[in-house]
Amino acid sequence: MTKFKHLRAEILSQSFSPEWDTAVQEWELIEVFINYQTQTCLCTHKPIKEICVLSHRQHRGRVEIGNCCVNRFLGIPSGTIFDAIKRVMDDNTKPLNEAAVTFFAERGVVSTWEHSFYLNTFRKRSLTQKQADVRLRINHKVLRHLSARRVMT
């Protein structure tokens, strides 16, 4: 059985719809994290490090799958979020990208004001000291949230 068939069977078994295109729409991305320990995707690929947590919109069941499966089969563009997370983990003065800061704002990790600030400054190469301090504070907030979600084990 191919990896996609494994993923498809697992998602369909936990969905209301027996049709793939409809079943996929029953799921939403609720969390992302980087796991440095061994984990296997629903498609049977292992090891996976970039983990996407999906939640069923109605029964709230959860599954953890790899970033590649989320992008390739479910069409959820989580790769840009992981790119930003890794960049900030390597250098906490670097900016998150729009996708990442919006993702974390939608989940209440960053406030509406912080989200707006970030969108107004994330492309600036030269920040004032105050802006740089605010960016650093927001980055630390995101990294603390991720740490609590098993990112840096």
Q: Is 58 exposed, middle or buried (0-12, 13-18, 19+ CB in 10 A)?
A: exposed
In this prediction, residue 150 carries a pLDDT of 54
**For the packed helices 79-90 and 129-148, what is the interaxial angle rounded to 10 degrees?**
110
Kindly give the parts of the chain with pLDDT less than 70: 1, 148-153
In this prediction, residue 146 carries a pLDDT of 86
Span 53-93, pLDDT tens digits: 999 999 989 999 999 888 877 777 788 999 999 999 999 99
Classify residue 92 by its DSSP letter. T
In this prediction, residue 72 carries a pLDDT of 75
User: Which sequence spans correspond to the domains of the chain?
Assistant: 3-72, 79-148
**What dihedral do alpha carbons 19, 24, 27, 32 form, nearest 10°?**
150
R_g of the chain, CA atoms, integer Å: 17
